[in-house]
Amino acid sequence: MALREIVTVGDDILRKRSREVAVVDDRIRMLLDDMEDTMRLDNRGVGLAAVQVGVLKRIFICDVGDGTGLHTFINPEILEKKGTVLSEEGCLSVPGKSGMVERPEFVRIRALDRHGDPFEMKAEGYLAICICHEYDHLDGILFTDKLVEENKTVE
Ligand code: GNR
Ligand code: NI
């Protein structure tokens, strides 16, 4: 088990585009295990993207506590989005802030799992929100970029 340090705003790695994973090997699986430990034990988040531990790879994990457990996404593609919900978000990389963001209420996503095998899943509710929040990290986007108007002046 290993905890990794969470990168926070001010470090411009958070603004970079993460790169595709070429091969899902033991090194990637070790990174995934460290990300899970970091998310669960240290920081108690519901999701974490690799860039948040300083690794610019298109990888994220989510566990929103809905009983479906940990979901791992490598080289994810969002295939479909439906509906709109308002979501109150925070981010481990933006300590001390929260705010309302518009998200889809449903997503369909394709990715590779920790064995490098492709899968497709549908998600709604909090899991869909978390997937979109994490997916944004892969493109250097933070929830603070998307705050709905009335919250922009708060902080
Ligand atoms: O812990 C987190 N909570 C959260 C709440 C609402 C929507 C998204 C999230 S993800 C966040 C952890 C994090 O920063 N992941 O990138
Ligand atoms: Ni985040």
As a whole number of angstroms, the distance between CA 51 and CA 93 comes to 10
Residue 90: in which H helix or E strand, if any? strand 85-90
Q: How far is CA 3 from the centre of its chain?
A: 17
- Residue 46, both tokens: 């519901």
pTM of the full structure: 0.95
Other CB atoms within a 10 A radius of the CB of residue 109 amount to 21
For residue 38, report the distance from its CA to the centre of ligand 2, in Å. 13
| Fold exhibited by the domain 12-150 | Peptide Deformylase (3.90.45)
Question: Pick the catalytic residue: 5, 80, 134, 155?
Answer: 134
Ligand 1 pocket check for 137: Cβ under 6 Å: yes
Judge whether 134 counts as a catalytic residue.
yes
Atom of ligand 1 nearest to the CA of 39: 12
For residue 153, report the distance from its CA to the centre of ligand 2, in Å. 20
Residue 14 sits at φ, ψ, to 5 deg, of: -65, -20
For residue 94, report the distance from its CA to the centre of ligand 1, in Å. 10
Residue 81 sits at φ, ψ, to 5 deg, of: -135, 140
* Predicted confidence pLDDT, tens digits, the chain (155 residues): 799 999 999 999 999 999 999 999 999 999 999 999 999 986 689 999 999 999 999 999 999 999 999 999 999 999 999 999 999 999 999 999 999 999 999 999 999 999 999 999 999 999 999 999 999 999 999 999 999 975 554 44
Ligand 1 pocket check for 130: Cβ under 6 Å: yes
